[in-house]
Chains A and B, each alone.
Chain A
Amino acid sequence: MTARRIYVANRGEIALRIVEACERLGYETVLGVSAADRETLAARRATRTVVLGAARSQESYLNQQAVIHAAVSTGCDAVHPGYGFLSEKASFARACAENGLIFIGPTPEQLETLGDKLSARAFAQSVGVPVSPGGPTETLEQALALADRIGFPILVKAANGGGGRGMKLVNRAEDLAPAWQVASSEAAAAFGDGTVFLERFVAAAKHIEVQILGDSHGHCVHLGERECTLQFRYQKILEEAPSTALNAEDRLRLHAYALKIGKGLGYQGLGTVEFLYDVQTRDICFLEVNPRVQVEHPVTESVTGVDLVREQILVAFGAALSFRQEDIVLKGHAIELRLTAQDPAQGLRPSPGRLRRWRPAPLGGVRVDSHLYEGYLFPPYYDALMAKLIVSGADRSAALALAVSALSRLEVEGPATNRDLLVKLVNHPDVAANSITTRWLEEKFDEGSLP
């Protein structure tokens, strides 16, 4: 195999994850960092590191020109965008291609289809995948009429938004007008388009997503589902595979929907098809596709034994998938916990600072994906993710028991973390019974029983 050099266009734990995957493939890496990230673990591990710009993401990680210039002038063949930052930007994928770089992800056209909530929904419907009742609204009158048809409670959000930004829950008709106005002006300010999306809110909802992987030779497989129901304001906290909320029939239906989307698009690369599952009606509704590696990919790796980042890189270089659907066999149960520099006592406020102590417990069955080391200055400029603890066991209760061990034996001092909240969560009877919904943690915060 020819020697390859991969430009890593990200930071934090995922940059390290990509550098390691490249090392195992025998590929060189060039990491572009901001001025605040010169001393990160990934910067030490990459074959070469270049400083792109100032600490602010707009001047470094989001600066497309600087990233492409750095990748081209350091002789890279391909760019791995990780998650967040430039990973879902069709314009960036296109600029890579124009400059002779392979973008490790789907095609720009696929990114365009999936990047806009409306076109993604329209595509899902066109291949026979159900979507939640709702639609786009350009005026308040349209919104009131649509709300009347789909019924309350209703979720109001920017049509072009993502990651839960600007979402509002409206329970009564009289609250719709103010929520719609705010969402519309936020959408106009953030995305230059004031279109607001209304969607029926499912109270007893589970967030379940399916990992898909496609190559450029027309193959597309799924690698089972993940459940990420435990969230706080749409930010995932605990993710697991497989989901224990699904029965066998619904699981097959869910996987089939994901493959309809993947095969319908001729999807190339690693992607996640997200769904909401209504445990009462057993309805499955398409939410969106995340066209990139996902934070919670390790739980799928744990139960399938597939190195997803390695496969993602290989298919981007044109390789055909080395396995078929029937080769993928799930084994055991895996749970990921996101340790963040957020203070549960302060409403999960970010808490950057110097890490005085960092000693994950060396326990069998625990994987730690992290860019931390003792003495590291956790910067205030980026997201709060410190580490992902991935525990696996023969079944869910064994994995949860290991999670309790891994969390309580973790030694971390310096920035305030959400560790104590995670301990409470993995010990909570509702979590043990998996009777929670996507709003469960916010309700517990509101009623004061957590943290």
Chain B
Amino acid sequence: MTIDLEVLAAVVRLLKEAEFSEFRYAKGDVSFVVRRGDVSEGPTPPPSTIAPAPAPVAAPVSPSAPVVETDGAKVRAPLLGTFYSRPKPGEAVFVKIGDRVEPDTVVCIVEVMKLMNSVSAGVRGVVAAIHARDGDLVEFGQALFTVVEAA
């Protein structure tokens, strides 16, 4: 992987002024994620992270091992059904990116024929990615969340 740290620093500087909480960039074999916000409960930057001052955290990652996308555990659908991120329409989501979860934390619902099945994280860590949207048909074994280790 080649990534020009000057370019990355420029991107981070530009984003500093913008309204955003998470920025993902992918082109060719290069991808990176910049996240901002409440990191007090979130992950401390992984060792490879470049953190230009002050707040934004940039994690350049190679496609062969994108830190956010494949590192960490996947929470998978225990059965085929429809994915819901919140208990009821209009209510808050069970979890969002950056949230800390325990093994028994309910992270979503998979509905099968009007039967609501709560899905627990099964691992301890921080939600790094959400792979399904409300109303999606999710299949047995499909990855729903990526949870990374909290340092």
Q: B-contacting residues of A (Cβ < 8 Å)? A: 32, 35, 50-54, 59-60, 63, 65-66, 68-70, 73-74
Is B137 close to A, CB under 8 A? yes
Residues of A close to B82: CB separation below 8 A: 69, 73
Flag if B80 contacts A52 (CB, 8 Å). Answer: yes
Nearest B residue to A34 via CB reads B140
Least CB distance, A64 to chain B, in whole angstroms: 8
Flag if A70 contacts B80 (CB, 8 Å). Answer: yes
Flag if B113 contacts A68 (CB, 8 Å). Answer: yes
Is B150 close to A, CB under 8 A? no
Flag if B112 contacts A50 (CB, 8 Å). Answer: no
Q: A50-B139, A52-B80 are in contact. List 15 more A-B contacts (CB 8 A).
A: A35-B141, A50-B137, A51-B139, A51-B140, A51-B142, A60-B140, A63-B79, A65-B112, A65-B115, A66-B80, A66-B81, A66-B140, A69-B81, A73-B82, A73-B137
Residues of B close to A66: CB separation below 8 A: 79-81, 112, 140
Ordered by A's residue number, 13 sampled pairs between the chains whose C-beta atoms are within 8 Å are A35-B140, A50-B139, A51-B80, A52-B140, A53-B79, A63-B79, A65-B112, A65-B113, A65-B115, A66-B140, A69-B80, A69-B81, A73-B82
- The answer to whether A53 and B140 touch (CB under 8 A), given A65-B115, A68-B113, A69-B113, is yes
In the docked arrangement, what's the CA distance between A63 and B112, Å? 11
Which residues 105-121 of B sit at the A interface, judged by CB distance below 8 A? 112-113, 115
Which residues 40-83 of B sit at the A interface, judged by CB distance below 8 A? 79-82
Closest 5 CB pairs of A and B: A51-B139, A65-B113, A73-B137, A51-B140, A53-B140
How many of chain B's residues have a CB under 8 angstroms from any CB in A? 12
In the docked arrangement, what's the CA distance between A32 and B80, Å? 10
Query: When each residue 127-151 of chain B gets 1 if its CB lies under 8 Å from chain A and 0 otherwise, what string results?
Result: 0000000000101111000000000
In the docked arrangement, what's the CA distance between A53 and B112, Å? 12
Flag if A53 contacts B80 (CB, 8 Å). Answer: yes
Least CB distance, B72 to chain A, in whole angstroms: 22
In the docked arrangement, what's the CA distance between A150 and B17, Å? 94
Least CB distance, B138 to chain A, in whole angstroms: 9
Residues of B close to A59: CB separation below 8 A: 79
Residues of B close to A54: CB separation below 8 A: 140
Least CB distance, B62 to chain A, in whole angstroms: 28
Residues of A close to B115: CB separation below 8 A: 65
Flag if A50 contacts B141 (CB, 8 Å). Answer: no
Least CB distance, B134 to chain A, in whole angstroms: 13
Flag if B113 contacts A50 (CB, 8 Å). Answer: no
Residues of B close to A65: CB separation below 8 A: 112-113, 115
Query: When each residue 82-116 of chain B gets 1 if its CB lies under 8 Å from chain A and 0 otherwise, what string results?
Result: 10000000000000000000000000000011010
Most buried by A among B80, B81, B137, B139: B80
Residues of A close to B112: CB separation below 8 A: 65-66, 69
Most buried by A among B79, B112, B139, B140: B140
Residues of B close to A52: CB separation below 8 A: 80, 139-140
Least CB distance, A140 to chain B, in whole angstroms: 43
Least CB distance, B140 to chain A, in whole angstroms: 5
In the docked arrangement, what's the CA distance between A32 and B112, Å? 14
Residues of B close to A51: CB separation below 8 A: 80, 139-142
Least CB distance, B31 to chain A, in whole angstroms: 27
Flag if B137 contacts A74 (CB, 8 Å). Answer: yes
Residues of A close to B80: CB separation below 8 A: 32, 50-53, 66, 69-70
